[in-house]
Amino acid sequence: MASRTAPFAPFEFMIAWRYLRARRAEGGVSVMTWISLIGITLAVFALIATLSVRAGFRAEFVDTILGANAHVTVYSAPQVTETGATIRTIADYEAMAARLAAVPGVTHAAPQVRGQAMASAGDRAAAADVYGLTAEDLAAIRRVADPQTSQGDIARFDQGIAIGSVMARELGVTVGDRIRLIQPNGARTAFGTSARINAYEVVYIFTAGRYDIDRTRVYMPFAEAQSYFNRDGVADEIEVMVEDPEQVDRMAVPLLMAAGSRPICGPGATVREASCARWMSRTT
């Protein structure tokens, strides 16, 4: 085994000591050396401190984005129904989520229903982005399920809804209060579609750390969201969490293959050409 070289050999120490402790006749050299040494030390200290602050800010900023959002979102290809309507719902969402979760590097895959509604309490109202998912999937969202920044009991999620802390403040509600969710394309009757207005108990209030999330996001139990948004038996998308979000481009092809879709190569490709080349080499 090769021996490791010390950062400073005796010769370097001798040279440094020679200039730091000059003779009286060469005192100017010693003073200038000390000034240079102190200046370089302060400059390196400032550089290290600046890089540390920047790295900490970047880590916190990235965590607030990725800690409450999916790293990858899988959608279905557009399908045309018998009536001519175009839909992108996923019927076999449980099987697809299981296949995606089995891809190496994937830590979690969860089907969900998404929609928009208006939340109101008393004479106050706020726009809401509603996410329908199971209690287990909600508990897997680290920034949302943080007990130090949340209120209420996440174990009671199946009995109500979870909302962001800014929305709770704007609506003037707390844990145990009820709010109304109003969706214009709701109940389907013989006379057409009428607005659906349902009241839900707020069982959990979270703080994800991003204003836009804490102000608009509402989590609803998956089965209730299917009924509320007329998604019986289907899901809108599957959110996927991976081990290394910064290298998520490398997982595009495996995820597409697990979802049952062939990646599109060439002009207008959905994945990078390198990924297409790797996929083609394995299938030809």
> What's the gap between Cα 269 and its chain centre?
24
Q: Cα(105)–Cα(123) distance, rounded to whole angstroms?
A: 47
The tens digit of pLDDT for each residue in 112-160 reads: 999 999 999 989 999 999 999 999 999 988 889 888 889 999 999 999 9
Give the lowest-confidence range in 5-19, 153-167, 265-279: 265-279
Mean pLDDT of all residues in 51-69: 81
* Nearest partner of 72 among 96, 108, 98, judged by Cα: 108
Question: Per-residue pLDDT tens for 182-230?
Answer: 998 766 666 667 788 999 999 999 998 888 899 999 999 999 999 999 8
State residue 214's pLDDT score. 93
**pLDDT, greater one: 103 or 61:** 103
In the structure, what pLDDT confidence band is assigned to residue 273 with cuts at 50, 70 and 90? very low
* Among 1-5, 233-237, 272-276, the least confident range: 272-276
* Pair 133, 73: CB distance under 8 Å: no
88 pLDDT above the threshold of 90: no
39-51: pLDDT as tens digits: 888 999 999 999 9
98 has a pLDDT exceeding 60? yes
- What pLDDT is stored for residue 20 in this prediction? 64
For the chain, what is the mean pLDDT? 82
pLDDT of 190: 62
- Bigger pLDDT: 7 vs 68: 68
Is residue 174's pLDDT more than 80? yes
Q: Is 214 exposed, middle or buried (0-12, 13-18, 19+ CB in 10 A)?
A: buried
